[in-house]
Amino acid sequence: MKSFSDRLIEVLREKGSPVVVGLDPQLQSLPSEIKTRNFQRYGRNLKGASRAVLEFNRRILDVISPHVGVVKLQIAFYEVLGPHGIDSYQKTARFALKRGLLVIGDIKRGDVGHTAEAYAEAHLGKVDIDGLTTQGYGVDAVTLNPYLGGDSISPFLKTAKAYGKGLFIVVKSTNPSSKDFQDRRCGTRRLCELVAGEVNDWGSGLVGKSGYSAVGAVVAAGSPALGRRLRRLMPRAFFLVPGYGAQGTKAEDIRPYFNADGYGAIVSSSRAIIFAYKNPLWKKKYGRKHGEKDWERAVEDAVLRMRQDVSRALGRGR
């Protein structure tokens, strides 16, 4: 079985960019034509909302799949819509997989023993119905929270190994309050550095042919110095880097997140891409009404612009 890191590198090579698009379909921001149609058909309720989300995602995937190799689904925006929302999560993932994209489930789960096993089976493995197995959510990788320690991660390591899947452990998150605990000095190191050390260990049994591990880390954009330090602590880990484009982060700042081989990080943007039509600059260019009608063009423009910025920052021309 091909390891996750080898599959990831393959798709990054094919698409020529480390850009990841986050499918965080907040209902309120969806183009109104999609909502109207789905509410008419299924009702202005959780089912109608879930169907609107699914249509929105499918159309985005049609637009972006020539340009990016990886998408990230933030499960909260599906979970909030109840069982129908979870159904749209699963269907979006399947649709993206069919398009040849790698899918990261941004679930940030973290729990103990049998519970962690259930989560691992559900999201990365197969679900056992008294001897009959059935596919779980079927994504390629998930994000996890490290606070509960090694034995909360190990069921996922086992599943990742069995099915060629990947993990991204939250080391340093994008929010201001990430300082509350992640930046606390514990002995000679900060907590996030201690976590990074463990991530490196956890991943040591899952290194692919590429030299990269299936166990990666979530590392917020915006701090080149920290990126460099964490890079040294986790040389074989892929970094999933959220927060790009937000809070004044510059493309150049993410350079230290990569290794010298040009791999080792994937850079994620969500709302700035999928809701690009709400960007004041776009609105100004095309006018409010027209802007919304052309929301797919806005998505494509935004993703191409991000590809270009990131490539330039990494010194790869365009």
- Minimum Å distance from CB 251 to a second copy? 21
- Minimum Å distance from CB 237 to a second copy? 17
Q: Which of 91, 108, 161, 293 is catalytic?
A: 108
Candidates 55, 193, 198, 294; binder of a second copy (CB under 8 A) is: 198
Candidates 15, 19, 24, 53; binder of a second copy (CB under 8 A) is: 24
Q: Tell me the C-alpha distance between 23 and 132, whole Å.
A: 32
CB 70 within 8 A of CB 10: no
Interactions with a second copy, residue window 39-78 (CB under 8 A): 39, 44-46, 48-49, 74, 76-77
Phi, psi of 308 (to 5 degrees): -65, -45
Q: Tell me the C-alpha distance between 161 and 132, whole Å.
A: 21
Q: Which two tokens stand for residue 58?
A: 């499918």
- Minimum Å distance from CB 15 to a second copy? 26
- Minimum Å distance from CB 264 to a second copy? 23
Candidates 18, 110, 222, 291; binder of a second copy (CB under 8 A) is: 110
Tell me which stretch binds a second copy (CB under 8 A): 157-165, 177-185, 276-284, 292-300: 177-185
Interactions with a second copy, residue window 253-292 (CB under 8 A): none
Confirm whether 250 is a catalytic residue.
Answer: no
Task: Find how far residue 295's CA is from the centre of its chain.
Answer: 22
Candidates 5, 57, 92, 152; binder of a second copy (CB under 8 A) is: 152
Q: Does 194 bind a second copy (CB under 8 A)?
A: yes
In order, the DSSP letters of 35-99 are: HHHHHHHH-SSHHHHHHHHHHHHHHHHHHHTTT-SEEEEETHHHHTTHHHHHHHHHHHHHHHHHT
Give CA angle at 188 (184, 189), nearest 5°. Answer: 45
Tell me which stretch binds a second copy (CB under 8 A): 144-152, 225-233, 278-286, 310-318: 144-152
Q: Tell me the C-alpha distance between 54 and 42, whole Å.
A: 13
Q: Which residues are catalytic?
A: 108
